[in-house]
Structures are given as C-alpha cells and as structure tokens.
C-alpha cells in the first residue's frame, strides 16, 4: 500500500489525492517494455511419429519419422540404409533364391545346400529388416518425446 508524499499517511493505490491532507499524488509512470511476440512451436505427436516410421518403413523408407520431427540428416541416412537393406539386398536374395531353385543344376548355383543357404540368408535378411524397422520407429518415437519436452522447457526447438 502506498504512502502520501506530503503527510505520509496510507492511501489507496489508485488515489490521485491524499484523503487526509489533499495533496496531489504523482502518478507512477511505468516505462513501456517492448513486448516480444511469443513464438509457439508445434509439438510433435510421438504416436504419429512412430506410425509414420512404421508405415513408411514397411516400404523400405526408414527415417521418414526422423525427417518429420526435424532430424533430417539422420532421417536421410536411415532412408538410404533402409533402401539398401530392404530393396537392393531383398531383390538380390530373391533373385538368387528364385534362380537357384528354378535353374538348379543348369545355373551357377545348384544343389540343396546352396538353396538352403539362400533361404537361410533370406530369413536372416527378414529378421534384420524387422529389427531395423522396430528400432527406427522406437528411435523416432523417443526423439519426438524429447523434442516436446525441450520445446516446453526452452520455448525453442532442440535442433
């Protein structure tokens, strides 16, 4: 509660004159502070990020979830890795297995041992794809949660 500048009595905060002595009270001027518009950053939904990563990952497009949350370099690296693993190696395994079984003794690859080896390699390839798909979706999910926590704390994106 403020005091009168002349007699020192308690006066209401919005009083222009002292109710006891009648002295005019100076109006407190507060300097204008420039207002900076608050920038709000869009939060990324971790569930949607994981869904994007899984759906695109089934087609060999790993890293799309990372690109969605702004980790473009990591997303492109995973995209290239996913294309190499899922498309190029997949086509190579398929062709080797298909032609190995179709042209058996007449082609370069023949015998049940080679065919079994190619089938085993195909199963290993599928396990690698599944592990990679799950890992990149989980990583994108965790990065989206980290992004949201960082934006909430510091009011700016982490990357």
Query: What's the whole-model pTM score?
Result: 0.66
| Per-residue pLDDT, 41 | 81
Which pLDDT score, from 0 to 100, does residue 2 have?
82
Tokens standing for residue 31: 């300097």
Q: Is residue 107 part of a domain?
A: yes
pLDDT per residue as tens digits for the range 32-84? 666 666 667 889 999 999 999 999 999 989 999 999 999 999 999 999 999 99
Q: Is the pLDDT of residue 105 over 60?
A: no
Domain count, the chain: 2
For residue 24, list its beta bridge partners: 17
Are 57 and 20 in a shared domain? no
Residue 155: name the closest of 36, 24, 27 by CA.
36
Whether 138 and 89 map to the same domain: the answer is: yes
Q: Do residues 23 and 68 share a domain?
A: no
Same domain, 56 and 87: yes
What is the domain range of residue 57? 46-154
**Cβ proximity of 15 and 36 under 8 Å:** no
Please answer whether residues 128 and 85 qualify as being in contact, where contact means their C-beta atoms are separated by less than 8 angstroms.
yes
- Would you state the pLDDT for residue 70? 94
């Amino acid at each position: 509660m403020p005091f009168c500048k002349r007699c020192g009595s308690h006066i209401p905060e919005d009083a222009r004159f002292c109710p006891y002595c009648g002295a005019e009270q100076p109006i407190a001027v507060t300097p204008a502070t420039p207002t900076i518009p608050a920038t709000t950053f869009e939060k990324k939904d971790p569930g949607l990020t994981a869904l994007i990563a899984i759906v695109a990952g089934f087609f060999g497009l790993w890293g799309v979830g990372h690109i969605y949350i702004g980790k473009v370099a990591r997303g492109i690296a995973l995209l290239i890795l996913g294309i190499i693993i899922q498309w190029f190696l997949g086509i190579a395994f398929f062709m080797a297995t298909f032609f190995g079984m179709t042209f058996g003794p007449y082609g370069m690859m023949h015998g049940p041992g080679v065919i079994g080896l190619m089938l085993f390699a195909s199963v290993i390839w599928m396990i690698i794809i599944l592990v990679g798909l799950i890992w990149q979706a989980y990583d994108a999910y965790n990065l989206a949660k980290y992004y949201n926590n960082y934006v909430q704390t510091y009011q700016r994106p982490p990357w």
